[in-house]
Amino acid sequence: FLGGVVQELAGSDTVRAMALAVRVEKERFKFNCAHFVAFKGFRERLHGHNYQVGVTVYGELATDGYVLDFGVVKEHAVKLCKAWNEHFICPMNSDVLDIKRGDGRIEITCEDGAYFVFPEVDCLCLPIVHSTAEELAIVFTDLL
């Protein structure tokens, strides 16, 4: 990817006018979580994933030659990954789960009658409808 941008920039006098996309991926940008996806009439079994995060930043090249200080991006991404690590992802805006929060626990009743109780400190309560990678990416980006 960067090779194509560099090639394109090589003959250009208007480098700063060009919008760029810069991506950073680090081994530290990862977290592990349990979840299940539930839709009307369907529920996955409780299971877990090892998530790997990559951050792409779009912008104009500044006079200092940067699009953005990636030190700041890295710092925030690592903090978010650490905060999300080893939690159950609870989709608080679910349209099919009955979620009750209180007494230090999260109680979830599913359409199929399955019932889960988690310590609240072990839950990552997010403003999402489904605990899909796509919805997680939106929240992660908003928090970054």
Q: Kindly provide the residue ranges of all beta strands, DSSP E only, lying in the chain, ordered along the sequence.
A: 19-35, 38-39, 42-43, 47-60, 87-91, 98-102, 105-109, 115-119, 123-126
pLDDT at position 8 is: 52
pLDDT at position 3 is: 41
CA distances from 134 to 3, 19, 96, 130 (A): 28, 25, 18, 9
Structure tokens at 115: 């019932």
Residues of the chain predicted below pLDDT 70: 1-18
| Angstrom distance (rounded) from CA 16 to CA 60 | 6
pLDDT at position 134 is: 95
Structure tokens at 59: 């912008």
pLDDT at position 72 is: 87
pLDDT at position 63 is: 84
